[in-house]
Amino acid sequence: MLRIINSLPRTHKLLLLPAITVVTVLGAHTVLSNPDSPNKTIISDVQPITLVEADTGRPFNAVNATPQVRAELALSIPATPPTEPAIDTNALELARLLSQPLAQDSPQIAESSYSEPVDLADDGNDSTLLDSELVANEQYVPEWQSYTIQPGDSFAVMAERSLGLGYSDVLKLLSVLPDKKVLTRLQVGHDLYYKLDQEGDLIALKVMTDARKGYLLERHDADQSFEISNIKQATQSTQRLFAGTVEGSFGASALSTGLSSGEVAELSQALGKKVDFRRDTRQGDRFQVLVESDMIDGRPLASRILAAHYEGKKTDLSIVRHDEAFYTPDGKSLDPSFERYPFSGHQRMSSPFNLRRHHPVTGRISPHYGTDFAMKVGTPVRSTGAGRVTRVVRHPLAGLYVVITHDNGYKTRYLHLSRTLVKVGQRVKLDQKIALSGNSGRTTGPHLHYEVIVNNHRVNPMRFKLPGGVNLKGQELAAFKKRTNSLLAKLDNADNSRAVARTRSGSDDSES
- The three-state (H, E, C) secondary structure of 292-336, written as one string: EEEEECCEEEEEEEEEEEEECCCCEEEEEEECCEEECCCCCECCC
Is 449's pLDDT higher than 80?
Answer: yes
Contact indicator for 246, 257 with CB cutoff of 8 Å: no
Q: Give mean pLDDT, residues 128-136.
A: 48
Band of pLDDT at residue 380, cut at 50, 70 and 90: very high
* Of residues 363 and 271, more confidently modeled: 271
From-to residues of CATH 3.10.450.350 in the chain = 145-232, 236-335+491-511
Kindly state the average pLDDT of the residues 437-461. Answer: 92
Q: How far apart are CA 319 and CA 228, in angstroms?
A: 45
236-335+491-511 CATH: 3.10.450.350
Q: What is the DSSP letter of 138?
A: S
What are the residues whose beta carbons fall under 8 Å from the beta carbon of 55, sequence distance 6 or more? none
| pTM across the whole model | 0.40
Beta strand 433-437 pairing with 380-382: antiparallel
The answer, yes or no, to whether residue 161 has pLDDT greater than 50, is yes
* Cα–Cα distance measured from residue 158 to residue 336, given in angstroms and rounded to the nearest whole number: 54
Which range, 38-42, 256-260, 505-509, has the best average confidence (pLDDT)? 256-260
Average of pLDDT values for 90-112?
49
Q: What percent of the chain has a predicted confidence (pLDDT) above 70?
A: 64
Distance in angstroms (rounded) separating the CA atoms of residues 5 and 13: 7
The yes-or-no verdict on residue 446 having pLDDT over 50 is yes
Q: From CA 1, how far away is CA 415, in angstroms rounded? A: 112
Across the range 302-312, mean pLDDT stands at 89
pLDDT on residue 87: 54
When pLDDT is averaged across residues 503-511 and rounded to a whole number, the result is 37
Check if CATH label 3.40.50.2300 holds for domain 145-232. Answer: no
pLDDT for 336 beyond 60: yes
* CATH superfamily of this structure's domain 348-459: Glucose Permease (Domain IIA) (2.70.70.10)
Give Cα 240 to chain centroid, integer Å.
Answer: 17
Higher pLDDT, 332 or 434: 434
CB 148 within 8 A of CB 189: yes
Q: 176 in helix, strand or coil?
A: helix
Between 122 and 487, name the one with better pLDDT.
487
CATH 2.70.70.10 occupies which residues in the chain? 348-459
The pLDDT, as a whole number, for residue 277 is: 84
Q: Between residues 73 and 189, which one has the greater pLDDT? A: 189
- pLDDT at position 69 over 70: no
pLDDT at position 295: 73
Q: For the residues 367-380, what does the mean pLDDT come to?
A: 92
